[in-house]
A and B are shown apart, each in its own frame.
Chain A
Amino acid sequence: METPSQIVAKVFPGIVAHIPQTLLYWFLPSVLALFLGALLCWARVSSRRNPLYWICTVSISFFRGTPGIVQIYIVFFGLPKLIWAIGYDVSDWTAGVYFIIATTLNLSCFMAETLRGGYLALDRGQVEAGLSIGFNRAQNFIHVIAPQTLKVALLNIKNLEIDMLKDTSVAYTIGAVEIMGYANRMISLRSGVGQLWILGTAAVVYFVMCAVLEVVFNLATRRISRYEEAAR
């Protein structure tokens, strides 16, 4: 009979060894979604006569209105069929690839709405001021629009990213091996002995990761709004 501390000592190194995998499943969708989300946001703030506006609105509504796990399942079962129809065989892709594709799509839609909120909160006078001192549209975007949009949206982006980090645990349902997948495999290998302790260890590791992410985002918030404080 193992004591709880022995069980934890046995699974803890394995869980820590799978942190990079979880971080990969968090980082790739986050970065991709920032770009894709910005594109979707751009379509969403454009004119309503633009057909892109309606395509993006409907797809954002779909991805926000259905559970993430269902989207992951649909991509997992549907994407190979779709690519097979074009003539490629992707049956050797690992589950992680499908997870990353599905969550990128999902996160992009939430990111688009978050960025849109930040963009709409932006003072129109700022845009005009930027143009009036001779910025062209690209310069105006980089120096005026993007920083201020990010400043407003950063709190919601932080919540999104923390949720994203936690949602990587869903990846184990399609067979990807990250912290949760490893914990689950250990539980079945040990036929359920000490399952609560294994899950508890995973929970603590997730909690620490979320706490670190929160601290990083708070530092970023302070940095991006530093001009605000100087003005006060």
Chain B
Amino acid sequence: MNLDTDFMLSDFPTVFAALPSTLLLSLDSMLWALVFALICGGAQLAKIPVLDKVTLVINTFIKGIPLVVQLLFCYYAVPYVVKWFDGLTGRAYDPRHLPYFGAAVLALALNFGAYITDVVISSARAVDKGQWESAYACGMTRFQALRRIVAPQIAVISLPNMTNYFIWLLKGTSLASIVNVTEMLTTARLSASDGYQFLEAYIDAAVIYWIVCACIEWASGRLYRSAGRYLASPSGGALQHSNRS
């Protein structure tokens, strides 16, 4: 087997240099996914009349469609949307510089937001009702009880599942390479295309993904062990889902 180890070693820093863009894409998407999930989850938990059904339908639909289709859809929709906004935001439409990064963020955020909604809902339901009642008994308003008593518990309970989804999201960002977003896999492919040494470059990328995911998993385990030490039951009955991508 002729594996070009020299190229593999020399290409490693090149691929590694693209790690920040992958992390930026992941964090950006995770932020908007959380916003989306909190809106959907809040609507469904508070049973806001029309909104809860609408978000449920949207989430169900998103969960039934491959991420690739969503990414390509957002990718192809970018020119239309940008053209539509032309002049509205004070920026002229320029077909050479389209915001594909934003399109990838939108697709990833919607896709993972739909899954994280379930985490938000199940974690919120895992908090004991007595916590709300004791907060009210202390004279807190609904908002105070949520902010000071319940929300911190929801955050801790949802931590393991959130990390699972974040790792899944990080792996999902590699799919953004098919829509011209410059992240780690795109960098690996471009750096390899000169000498057709794709295998070596992809192995480099795989090793970096592996290390990053393992680090996140380890860190989240430690965080949960210190943050979750006051919880009665560590698992909290939260939703389990495998982080597959």
Q: Chain A: residues with CB nearer than 8 A to chain B?
A: 61-62, 64-71, 73-74, 77-78, 81-82, 84-85, 106-107, 110, 113-114, 117, 155-156, 159-160, 162-164, 166-170, 172-173, 180, 184, 187, 192, 195-196, 199-200, 202-203, 206-208, 210-211
Contacts and interface: CB of A to CB of B under 8 A. Distances in A.
A210 B64 CA distance: 6
Nearest to B178: A173
Interface in B206-221: 206, 209-210, 213-214, 217
How many B residues touch the partner, as a band? 35 or more
Contact of A69 (B3, B77, B174, B203): B174
A77 B209 contact: no
Contact of A206 (B69, B174, B206, B214): B69
Contact of A203 (B73, B177, B241, B242): B73
Interface of B: 1-3, 61, 63-70, 72-73, 76-77, 80, 167, 171-172, 174-175, 177-178, 185, 198-199, 202-203, 205-206, 209-210, 213-214, 217, 240-245
Given A65-B213, A66-B171, A74-B202, A160 B69 contact: no
SS class, residues of chain B in contact with chain A? helix
Contacts of A164: 244
B185 A206 contact: no
B242 A160 contact: yes
B175 A82 contact: no
Contact of B243 (A64, A107, A184): A64
A189 to B, nearest CB: 15
A167 B68 CA distance: 8
